[in-house]
């Protein structure tokens, strides 16, 4: 940390709406983290403009310019470390990181996924939730492990599946919850309120919600 704040790098590939949620949170002087660098593997990612508009340094590392995933990951790792980054957030980063990269950043690398993990790992989560007939889905912030969409869970939000939902409508409602829980997870970590016990997280001074979301309502 520098000045008492956790120095964060954010990896993106696209629109950067979760990046924007993190930027907005970090704009609060009392927030315990600061974004030092935003890295994209795509030069046309709109998230780069979001970062530039906020005065955050950016870097483009085109994965197509590297002969192997390991070489690309090494370039990303070097760029993050050169910027003084001590913690990494994946925000719509559409590349599978190598096991070596994940282990180098173990417990300092988090991701947000649009389902209640461990359900619906991978892609097309919203349509798969609808097709499965679930009435509640949501989103999860978790520490990253080498397996896809795997790792200790930090924060989750439950979102009801409503009658007539299609994948786009459901995705839009879940995205609102993503924007709420990603900054929350980063805050909990930066304040030292999340620690690891084996492969589970323990939240210190947390206040778990005791209310149940029931869908459909029994009323």
- Domains of the chain with bracketed CATH: 6-192 (3.40.50.170)
Residues 188, 189, 191, 192, Cα dihedral to 10°: 110
Beta strand 109-113 pairing with 136-143: antiparallel
CB 92 within 8 A of CB 40: no
Positions marked active-site = 113
Q: Distance between CA 56 and CA 105 in Å, rounded? A: 22
pTM of the model: 0.94
Q: Tell me phi and psi for residue 73, to 5 degrees.
A: -60, -35
| Per-residue pLDDT tens listing for the chain (219 residues) | 445 899 999 999 999 999 999 999 999 999 999 999 999 999 999 999 999 999 999 999 999 999 999 999 999 999 999 999 999 999 999 999 999 999 999 999 999 999 999 999 999 999 999 999 999 999 999 999 999 999 999 999 999 999 999 999 999 999 999 999 999 999 999 999 998 888 999 988 766 676 777 888 776
């Amino acid at each position: 940390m520098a000045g008492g704040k956790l120095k964060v790098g954010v990896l993106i590939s696209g629109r950067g709406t979760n990046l924007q949620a993190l930027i907005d949170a970090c704009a609060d002087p009392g927030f315990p983290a600061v974004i030092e660098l935003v890295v994209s593997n795509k030069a046309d990612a709109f998230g780069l403009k979001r970062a530039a508009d906020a005065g955050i340094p950016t870097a483009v590392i085109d994965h197509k310019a590297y002969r192997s995933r390991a070489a690309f990951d090494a370039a990303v790792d070097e760029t993050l470390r050169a910027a003084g980054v001590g913690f990494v957030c994946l925000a719509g980063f559409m590349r599978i990181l190598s096991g070596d990269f994940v282990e180098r950043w173990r417990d300092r690398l988090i991701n947000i996924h649009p389902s209640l993990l461990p359900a619906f790992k991978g892609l097309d989560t919203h349509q798969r939730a609808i097709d499965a007939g679930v009435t509640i889905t949501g989103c999860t912030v978790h520490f990253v492990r080498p397996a896809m969409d795997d790792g200790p869970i930090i924060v989750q939000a439950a979102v009801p599946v409503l009658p007539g939902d299609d994948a786009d409508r459901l995705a839009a409602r879940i995205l609102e919850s993503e924007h709420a829980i990603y900054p929350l997870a980063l805050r909990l970590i930066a304040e030292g309120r999340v620690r690891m016990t084996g492969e589970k997280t323990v939240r210190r001074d947390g206040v778990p919600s005791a209310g149940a979301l029931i869908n459909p309502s029994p009323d």
